[in-house]
Structures are given as structure tokens and as C-alpha cells.
Amino acid sequence: MKLVGLIALFGVGGLVASGCSSEPIAPIAGHIAVGGTAGLQLLDPTGEPVAVLAAETARVTQPTWSRSGHRVVATVLGGGVPSQTLVAGRDGNDQVSTDVRRPYFFYSWNDAGTRIAALGPGPGGTSLDVLDSDGVPLSSVSLDSGSLYLAWEPDGGDLLVHTDEDLSLVTDVDDFASLAPLGSPGQGFLAPAWIPGTREALIVVEEADRGRLVRIDVDSGAQSDLGPVDGFAGIVVSPDGSRALLAHSSGDSGGVTFASFTGQAQAVDVAAATEIIDLDTGEREPIGRTPSLWAEWSPDGSAIALLQPSGSELEWFVWSEQGLRGLGRFLPSPEFLQSYVFFSWQYVETPRVWAPDGRAIAYAASQDGVSGIFVHRLSDGAPVRIADGDVAFWSPG
């Protein structure tokens, strides 16, 4: 199943969240940034407002926390003014609003919090601008492509960009002067996935009949084969760089072969699969027969939140060494489905749905046709509606 089929598969009407509780939740770490409303809401996990920014505007989208959780950036639309980038501190202080050259639909901070990669509509489809920590473009130079996905180097300032079928390393992000080509792997994946502690990343290289998961050295271009990929691939690496989640999205080849560096292989008759790959040995552990549409490792790397189709609805699952646990079916808000789930494998670039202490996840859903933000505390299994909005992302700290 290609990602372009998501909207057709799930639709946008008749939304309902099941198993919801009206009981307030106990305090959990971090703040939650909520978009899709008039103003950017910064909430504590009980739904109490910490700050509401740009409240006079029509709509705020793409709330994105810096990797330390000290700053947040978002796009401000409407309100009778040009599109703006809003940057503020975690408590709503130190606000900076900047008129920008395009309405950005994706942000990603570098590790140091000094640069923001911003994607928006461009002359060929998508354009990349690099902003400073206040959201101001660093130069008049943009990187333009049809499709464009990216990944920052962990603990560094280099940027991997996947433009259409090509992969490149950008070592001078301020003006894109140094763009080192790394081949043309194809479009069987969205964002490359850096492996923390290394100068290597995971990509998918398209072949005649199927793809291959490849570990690539971004300096030399040397590649190591990590086995087959069936259809489109979603990739997300664990925080310690030891494992990766691989989600196959198509069963057109009739099954998936789980291979290892030892030469042993096991054919599994599945239409699609979600697997954990040991990046040292190449061994694969299948954890589900269902394709995952979104995946995110918990901050300590002990669990993964997985969004999967479940009948005519969606369901969040949490995988850990104890197995796969479902959190109950729901349908997402139309905006979350169309603008976020559709590009889900780009959003693994920055922490999003997990609370920083790993005790809960946050997501947008709808109850009785009314959209809202829900916090699902894993200890009691009950989602709690905390606010209006169509997307919510938790601060990393």
C-alpha cells in the first residue's frame, strides 16, 4: 500500500474516538504544542494553558519543538497578514514573528538549536530554506526539487537531503554551496535515517523487482546491504543507534523474506510487515503482520509507538520487549490524516507523540464529530481529551 492511498483508505468523515475518559490525568513531564486553532496553544499534559501565542490569527500549523525542548516554531496563516514563522520559548516567552517567503509545511531543528530546516511550496514542487533560531531565512538561496525530504546529523550540523530520486550531503547549510551527491537510490522511501554515533544513514535503494535496505557512509558513499524491502519503506532508528524499525507498505511481491548477514533466511507469507532490524547483525524480528503508518521510538528506546490500520479505523500500538499492545481504535482528525500521517516517515526526524518520560502519547482524534487533542496515559489505558486542535506534539523535555 503506497502512502498516497492513505486518504482514500481511511476517508475523513464520521470520525470518532473510542474508549475516551473524562477523568483528568495526573501530571506528566513536558509541554504539548497544539496547532489547528486560532493561536498556538502551549499546554501542560492536563490541558492547562501555559501560553497561547498569535491568538488573533486565523490558524497556526506545524508546531515543532527544538531537540532540547526549549524552543518551538510554527507557521502562522491568515489574520490578514502574509505567512509568518513564529518562534517562542517553551513557556511562550521570547516570541519572534517573521514574514517568510513561503508558508512552510515542515520544520526540523538541528541538534544545537541554531538552525531550522523549513520545507514549503516551491517552483518545482518543494523548496528548502534554512532559518536561524528566530525563524529568519539565512540567505536568499533555496534548494528546489519536486519532492524533498531531509535528516539532520545527530550531534552535528550536516544535512542529508533526498530530492526526487537523488541523495546528497549538505555540509554548508547556510548557502547550499557544498552539495555532495551520494547517488540516486530512487523514491522507495521518504527521509533517510541517520544512525546516531556514526557518519552513516539508512536508505532504500530501488532495484528491478524490489528495494534493498542499505546502510550508507555519507563521506565515502560505501554501502552495506541490510536485506530486502517490499514496496515503500518507512525507517526510524533507535536513539542508541543499535536497531531500526522498518515498515514495508506493499505486498505486491507476494511476501517478505526476513534475511540476516549469516545467510539464513525465512520466507513469511504476509501482505505487509513491520520489523525490528539489529543494525550490527542484520537480523530481523517481525513484530506485526500489519503495515505501520507512523512509528516513533520512546525517548529511552525501550518502546515504539506505532500507528496502524485496524479495520476501518486506526489504532495506536506500543511495542516493547513484552510484545505489541493495542491502545484502542480511533479515527484521526482530517487535518492530522491529510497533512501529517500522509508524510509520516518525514516526521520521525524530530520527537513528536511521546511524553519525554515515556508515560503517555498525545494525538488528534474526534469524538461525536468534534475534533480534539487526546493524551493516552499508558498505565491506565484511557485516552483523555484535553483541548481543541487538529495536531499535538510533545516537547522532548
pLDDT tens track for 181-235: 999 999 999 999 999 999 999 999 998 878 999 999 999 999 999 999 988 899 9
Q: Give Rg (Cα) of the chain.
A: 20
- Using the predicted structure, report yes or no on whether residue 269 has a pLDDT greater than 60: no
* Residue 77 CB-density burial (10 A; 0-12 exposed, 13-18 middle, 19+ buried): middle
| Residues 45, 377: Cα–Cα separation, whole Å | 10
DSSP one-letter code for 207:
-
Separation of CA 67 from chain center: 13
Mean pLDDT throughout 353-368?
Answer: 88
* C-alpha distances out from residue 101 to 85, 98, 137, 192, Å: 10, 10, 9, 26
pLDDT score, position 62: 93
Residue 80: predicted pLDDT = 67
Which residues are CB-contacts of 136 (< 8 A; sequence separation ≥ 6)?
98
**Neighbour count for residue 23 (Cβ, 10 Å):** 7
Of 83-92, 215-224, 341-350, the least confident: 341-350
Q: Which CATH class is domain 3-394?
A: mainly beta
Strand-pair partners of 326: 317
Residue 322: strand, helix, or coil: coil
Q: Give the span between the Cα atoms of 266 and 260, in whole angstroms.
A: 9
- Percentage of the chain lying above the pLDDT 90 cut: 58
Q: DSSP letter at 332?
A: B
Q: What percent of the chain has pLDDT over 70?
A: 85
| Exposure b/e, 298-337, CB count within 10 A at least 16 = b | bbeeebbbbbbbeeebbbbbbbeeeeeeebbbbbbbbbbb
Q: For residues 4 and 38, which has the higher predicted lDDT (pLDDT)?
A: 38
User: 192 by DSSP, 3-state: which?
Assistant: coil
pLDDT at 245 over 50: yes
The pLDDT of residue 328: 86
Give the Cα separation of 363 and 206 in Å (integer). Answer: 33
Residue 266 confidence (pLDDT) above 70: no
Note the pLDDT of residue 338.
81
Q: Partners of 115 in the beta sheet?
A: 132
**92 — alpha (psi -120 to 50), left (phi > 0) or beta?**
left
What average pLDDT does the segment 9-17 reach?
A: 32
Question: Bigger pLDDT: 56 or 184?
Answer: 184
Residue 370, pLDDT score: 62
- Give residue 38's pLDDT: 82
Distance CA 91, CA 70 (A): 9
- The predicted structure's pLDDT at residue 79: 66
| pLDDT, tens only, 277-302 | 999 888 888 888 888 889 999 999 99
The arithmetic mean of pLDDT across residues 375-381, rounded, is: 85
DSSP state of 72: E
Give the per-residue pLDDT at 332. 81
Phi, psi of 345, rounded to the nearest 5 degrees: -75, -10
Flag the least confident range among 56-60, 92-96, 262-266, 286-290. Answer: 262-266
Report residue 272's pLDDT band, with 50, 70 and 90 as the boundaries.
very low
Contact assessment for residue 229 and residue 188, using Cβ atoms and an 8 Å cutoff: yes
Q: Is residue 256 predicted with pLDDT exceeding 50?
A: no
Q: Which of 319, 315, 292 is nearest to 305 (CA)?
A: 319
Query: Does residue 263 register a pLDDT over 50?
Result: no
Beta strands 40-43 and 256-259 are unpaired
Alpha helices (H) in 300-341, listed in sequence order? 334-339
What pLDDT, on the 0 to 100 scale, is given for residue 121?
A: 94
| Average pLDDT rounded to a whole number, residues 247-268 | 43
Mean pLDDT score of the chain = 84
- Per-state percent for the chain, helix, strand, coil, to nearest 5: 5, 50, 45
Q: What is the pLDDT of residue 367?
A: 60
Task: Please choose, from the candidates 91, 98, 164, 88, the residue with its C-alpha nearest in 3D space to the C-alpha of residue 131.
Answer: 98
Task: Read off the pLDDT of residues 310-343 as tens digits, 9 standing for 90 and up.
Answer: 877 889 999 998 889 999 888 887 788 888 888 8
> Quick one: pLDDT at residue 238?
96
Q: What is the pTM of this model?
A: 0.87
Tell me the mean pLDDT in the region 365-389. 83
| 367-394 mean pLDDT | 85
